[in-house]
């Protein structure tokens, strides 16, 4: 079992709160994708990169007590939060597994269903991880992946260079640890790993400051700008100017934003 717990975006209670908000925004898409992929009672599921367990809890409701969810997560803090909620809600079909998808082994042909959301973008070798997850999937099993296809598709309207320049610096810094647009790497590799593309759904929204979904990028962008300033990727002036420009955008009549382009990928394993 790996003890590595450091994350590019952190893994403290503030990040848990951000992940909860993110899950609330994306939950309708999650539930629709689970239905489309055929998740049902009694199935054995791997939730890869489970974090504090928001997806695992939804999965558990669908598979029921006769099914099982292995919640794979490397962060000790997230595992503790996940375990606490499992105990509180009595979801005994969820089994936390502290492990690292890149470093630790998985059993072959074990799972009916694998779910992965915003994990590949943080890995040093996403294709190797895809191969490992495919081996862990039973023949005929399904895998759902949510990953960015074009994070740079996020645009601020009206544009402000204080916003767009920081956005580009965020992308460049992310690429020091992984490929932010991981879906572009994964899609060409699918058939090479015994997988069949069942469906590919793009998610791209135009949102306004009054939309609930506006809180999703906001909860990431403002704190992350300050984090990058503390790491000297940005100057403190750039981070503070970003915050001021974002506030001004929210107060601008008819302001809007395009979200990053996310690919929802449903796959089926066709061979051993």
Q: Is the pLDDT of residue 23 over 80?
A: yes
- Could you tell me which residue, 249 or 191, shows the higher pLDDT? 249
Q: Is the pTM of this model over 0.85?
A: yes
Percent helix / strand / coil, the chain, rounded to 5: 45, 25, 30
pLDDT for 271 equals 73
pLDDT for 3 equals 42
pLDDT in tens, 79-95: 999 999 999 999 999 99
Would you mind telling me the total number of residues written for the chain in this entry? 272
pLDDT for 191 equals 87
Q: Is the pLDDT of residue 1 over 70?
A: no
pLDDT in tens, 216-236: 999 999 999 999 999 999 999
Q: Is the pLDDT of residue 107 over 70?
A: yes
Count other Cβ atoms within 10 Å, centred on residue 152.
15
pLDDT for 4 equals 43
CB 89 within 8 A of CB 68: no
pLDDT in tens, 57-82: 999 999 999 999 999 999 999 999 99
pLDDT in tens, 135-152: 999 999 999 999 999 999
Domains and CATH numbers, the chain: 13-269 (3.40.50.150)
pLDDT in tens, 198-217: 999 999 999 999 999 999 99
pLDDT for 190 equals 93
The DSSP output letter for 83 is H
Count other Cβ atoms within 10 Å, centred on residue 22.
19
């Amino acid at each position: 079992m790996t003890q590595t717990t450091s994350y590019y975006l952190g893994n403290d209670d503030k990040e848990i709160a951000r992940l909860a908000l993110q899950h609330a925004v994306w939950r309708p898409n999650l539930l629709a994708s689970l239905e489309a992929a055929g998740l049902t009672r009694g199935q054995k599921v791997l939730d890869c990169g489970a974090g504090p367990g928001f997806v695992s809890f939804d999965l558990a409701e669908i598979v029921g007590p006769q099914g099982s969810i292995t919640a794979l997560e490397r962060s000790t803090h997230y595992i503790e939060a996940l375990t606490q909620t499992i105990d509180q809600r009595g979801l005994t079909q969820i089994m936390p597994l502290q492990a690292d998808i890149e470093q630790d082994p998985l059993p072959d042909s074990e799972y009916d269903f694998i779910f992965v959301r915003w994990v590949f973008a943080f890995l040093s070798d996403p294709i190797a991880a895809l191969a490992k997850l495919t081996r862990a999937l039973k023949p005929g099993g399904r895998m759902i992946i949510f990953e960015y296809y074009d994070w740079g598709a996020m645009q601020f309207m009206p544009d402000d260079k204080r916003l767009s320049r920081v956005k580009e610096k965020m992308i460049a810094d992310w690429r020091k640890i992984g490929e932010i647009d991981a879906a572009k790497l994964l899609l060409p590799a699918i058939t090479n790993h015994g997988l069949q593309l069942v469906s590919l759904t793009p998610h791209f929204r135009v949102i306004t400051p009054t939309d609930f979904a506006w809180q999703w990028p906001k909860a990431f962008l403002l704190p992350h700008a300050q984090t990058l300033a503390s790491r000297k990727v940005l100057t403190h002036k750039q981070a503070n100017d970003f915050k001021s420009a974002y506030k001004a955008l929210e107060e601008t009549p008819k302001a809007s934003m395009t979200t990053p382009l996310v690919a929802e990928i449903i796959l089926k394993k066709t061979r051993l």
